[in-house]
Chain A
Amino acid sequence: MSKIIGIDLGTTNSEAAYIEAGKPVVIKSVEGQPYFPSVVAFTKTGEMLVGEAAKRQAVTNTEGTVQRIKRKMGTNEKVNLRGKTYTPQQISAFILQKIKKDAEDFLGEKITDAVITVPAYFNDDQRQATKDAGAIAGFNVKRIINEPTAAALAYGLDKEGDQKIAVYDFGGGTLDVTIMEVGGGVFEVLSTSGDTQLGGSDMDRALVDYIAEEFKKRHGVDLRKEPKTLQRVLEAAETAKIELSSTLQTDINLPYIYVVTGEPKHLEVKLTRTKLEEIISPIVQRSEKPCRQALQDAKLKPQDIDHVVLVGGVTRMQMVQKKVEEIFKQKPKREVDPMECVAIGAAIQAGVLSGEIDKDIVLLDVTPLTLSIETLGGVATPLIDRNTTVPTRKSKVFSTAADNQTSVEINVLQGERPMAADNKSLGRFHLDGILPAPRGIPQIEVSFDIDVNGIMNVSAKDLGTGKEQSIRITGSTKLSDSEIERMRKEAKEHEDEDKKRKEKIEIRNTADSLVHSTEKTLEELKDKFSSDDKENLEKALKELREALTGDDTDKIKEKTDSLTQAFQKASATIYQQAAQHYQQQPGQDGAQGDAWQGHPSDDDSTINADYKVKGEKKKKKDEDTE
């Protein structure tokens, strides 16, 4: 079945969304914005413009531009644009056509079906006109739904049984308040109220007035008179407004805003949140009456309302949220972007109609916590991160920690803490029969396989012998919410201390590996080291060994560093000798690399040394090709 898109056909802006893999996605316009101005224009040359471009040229082409056509929907009024008359349906159809084209570009497929939203107070004529506009634009309008219904759908409020919902929609130019009742997935509008002359632009104007007056007091110049300065003040007001929703005070600085008798003047105004709230308070205050009216018309008290939903950019302001909370005596919902929630709700309705959101949709579980195994030093090494969707399978190759180790223990852990002991052990088993070999050589592949029911199969396979052991763990995804919460909280609380402990272990592991590889190298290359180097190495090695018997991490680190340095110095001497040898006997490329194969690759010193070998080889090759 083809996609159905959801459209928020707004008075000032329009927007569309659709459902992808069960989730709503907002469709970006060709200009790259999630929404565009609901403006249509015909230029002198007869070219039609819709959206941003139409808005930009509006003042130069008043006779050819139309805005806010939504207010004329359902009337017999006609619009005359450059000698041709259009019905409001036709103008709206131009906006819808742009949405259709943008959606087709965005999705790469033909779109014919749509769900369009309208204000709850729209009458039958207005709804029919909207449907007609859709048809003119080439849409098969599957349904017309109310904007507040769409907003409630975006919050999934249709699934929570019988509810009473208030939707507070405060946009750039209008305020709409709707009280609805939902039951069995059906929304019924109980009352609507609003103010068509109240919006965010009033707030901006009030703020600009304040800033301009402050400047005027000091310098006697009205910044509102000059378009150039007005523009800068407008933008600064907008920025300050956004900033003050997260801070308590902001500085509005506009350097070189004006030249007064040959001297440049800067605008410097301090604005506190309290001051901002004082300035916009009369506007926010005006939104209270429509809310009270809507409640009264619905014959409800504020405490009868189960949920309050916020729609529109203005509701991002804390003061507005506080006001709503004060009126309805509860915290309003604002998790979904208030600018997008109507389009998202329309898309959800569209998804239900197309079967994209099916009631029987496969809901896959996620792992509530990270699943790991215990490795050297009691560290929890993750295989499957928390919040991974199951069924899934992950495997990792591990090795032994000691020479001639013939058995490994697999301890399966659940939890967010970096140390094994702090997590919950889900089960443990041994894999025996590993062939005796130096540490780091055997390859043990550990796999976690969680099926759709959350049953986890953990297996360990010795890739050398093919021997395998496994256990089944049930309920790895089934944990009570409180348990998950507790474990996550603990992890958060212990984050710093855990990090330090893990670092400590890692330093110890690195030192341990270094001791081991140094011993081995000393044994293997005893004839190649100079006696000086050998003595230095042995001394550093002894000191590190001693440090390891204690618990002083700084000391272990320091001694690791000095051993690494001694090692590097000794290696350099050997390479110099080898290079001389190599120059005398060319054509033995790779001989040095082989010598390193007997070493574990899990400690820093070997990795460093290995890297050096590769680096030198590469250099050689580069020289060869040049």
Chain B
Amino acid sequence: MPTKKPTDTKKNTQETAHHTIKKLEEENTQLHQEIIDKNDKYLRTLADFQNYQKRMEKELQAQKEDTKKKYLLELLDLTELLKKAYEDSDPKSGLKLILENLDKFLEKEGIIYIDCKGKPFNYQLHNAVSTIEQSECVDGTILDEIKKGYLVGEKLLRPARVIVAKKKP
């Protein structure tokens, strides 16, 4: 009796081991397949992303060209009108209208002129090209505008280039 028991146990253990091995093997095959699938999915996503990047680059380029086209067309209209004005013996009234149209276009695009003469210097809007020392002045006042500055909406398109007063010590 006592000799039989260990064999039983041995047999049982062997069976359990076999069972476990089989289960693990199945699991292993399954996991292996999962890795293959996941890897494939990963590579495809990566490739998709790279293709997306390429497409975005192309689209960005196309968008840039569209914008360029829009402004070029405006410029062409303007050029043609100016040519007509140039041939006109008295172009003043025509030029006035051309300028009005141009101003309207710029206004529509949100262009705002930075009015700066006589105002205090502000590094956010102005670019100081030089200073002039004076005894009678408010330090930091803009004396002259060398090049006009503009905003597009709230963003700075180009700072005004200015000459700033410096009080003589």
Which residues of A line the B interface, CB within 8 A?
21, 43, 49, 53-54, 56-60, 227-228, 231-232, 362, 364, 387-393, 451-452
Contact = CB atoms under 8 A, between A and B. Distances in A.
Contacts of B54: 387-389
B46 A362 contact: yes
Given A21-B49, A452-B43, A53 B166 contact: no
Contact of B50 (A43, A232, A389): A389
Contacts of B147: 228, 231-232
Contacts of B128: 56-60
Contacts, number: 68
B130 A49 contact: no
A435 B159 CA distance: 72
Contacts of A231: 129, 146-147, 161
B161 A59 contact: no
Contacts of B127: 56
A393 B48 CA distance: 10
6 contacts: A21-B49, A56-B123, A57-B128, A227-B163, A231-B147, A388-B51
B5 to A, nearest CB: 56
Q: Which of B46, B50, B130 is packed against the most chain A CB atoms within 10 Å?
A: B50
A58 B62 CA distance: 40
Contacts of A391: 40, 43-44, 47
Nearest to B41: A391
B129 A59 contact: yes
B116 interface: no
A522 B163 CA distance: 82
Interface string B98-126: 00000000000000000000000101101
Given A21-B53, A59-B129, A452-B40, A53 B124 contact: yes
Contact of A389 (B40, B51, B161, B164): B51
A364 B140 contact: no
A59 B53 contact: no
A452 B50 CA distance: 14
Q: Which 3 pairs across A and B sit closest by C-beta, in order of nearness?
A: A389-B50, A57-B123, A389-B47
Given A60-B128, A364-B47, A390-B47, 8 more contacts: A54-B123, A56-B126, A60-B131, A60-B164, A227-B129, A389-B50, A392-B51, A452-B43
A96 to B, nearest CB: 21
Interface of B: 40, 43-44, 46-51, 53-54, 121, 123-124, 126-131, 140, 144, 146-147, 159, 161, 163-164, 166
B121 A57 contact: yes
Nearest to A228: B146
Instruction: Say whether chain B's binding surface is mostly helix, strand, loop, or mixed.
Output: mixed
Nearest to A390: B47
A476 to B, nearest CB: 14
B44 A392 contact: yes
B146 A60 contact: no
A43 B128 CA distance: 14
A227 B47 contact: no
A451 B36 CA distance: 12
B44 A227 contact: no
B95 to A, nearest CB: 14
Contacts of A393: 44
Contacts of B121: 57, 60
A58 B123 CA distance: 9
Contacts of B161: 231
Contacts of A228: 144, 146-147
A389 B161 CA distance: 49
Contacts of A57: 121, 123, 128
Contacts of A232: 147
Contacts of B166: 60
A8 to B, nearest CB: 24
Contacts of A21: 49-50, 53
B129 A364 contact: no
A53 B159 CA distance: 10
Contacts of B146: 227-228, 231
A53 B123 contact: yes
B79 to A, nearest CB: 14
B48 A392 contact: yes
A289 B147 CA distance: 40
Contacts of B126: 56
Contacts of B163: 227
Contacts of B123: 43, 49, 53-54, 56-57
B151 to A, nearest CB: 14
A43 B163 CA distance: 18
A392 B47 CA distance: 7
B40 A59 contact: no
